[in-house]
Amino acid sequence: MKAEDVGHPEISDLTPEDLDAMLTIEQRAYAVPWSRGNLADSLHNGHVGMACRLEGKLVGYAFMMQVVDEMHLLNLTIDPLWQGRGWGRLLLEAVKARARQLGCTQMLLEVRHGNTRALKLYRDSGFKQIGVRQQYYPTPRGREDAIVMRGAL
């Protein structure tokens, strides 16, 4: 598919049939990706799962977990082959809208200190840093800090 032939993605719910595609995207996107088990657990354990699809094909996804009136964003990923088109922002706005529909007033998340694209997306979307979880994320050569952020919904 050529860039000029690409339409606008649609947001929908994740399904168990998305598991293989999620795993492929996760492995492309991260040096230390979520495992198939992590993804399957999120699908089956009541987490809110949202898909970003282009002509029916999964190009991104997000998982959230509700705790009373807070939503915790666990994972938001756009396939690296499709990044840079504003679809992460589109998916984040859909995630925030779903959280509001579920009665949440704020969203919390952790993001890798070195993930400058994601940090910019979250800051541009109104999230503020509220802390640091030292040595939170595994990396191929050790561990990396997580920036903890909160955003009003």
| 4 in catalytic set | no
Active-site residue among 26, 122, 137, 144?
122
How far apart CA 93 and CA 105 sit, in angstroms, is: 14
Active-site residue among 26, 55, 61, 110?
110
| 122 in catalytic set | yes
Comparing CA positions, the residue from 47, 41, 43 lying closest to residue 98 is 47
User: Half-sphere exposure of residue 77, counting CA atoms within 13 Å on the CB side?
Assistant: 23
Question: Which residues on neighbouring strands pair with residue 128, listed in sequence order?
Answer: 150
How far apart CA 60 and CA 78 sit, in angstroms, is: 4
| Run of H or E residues at 134 | strand 128-139
Could you give the residue numbers annotated as active site?
Answer: 110, 122
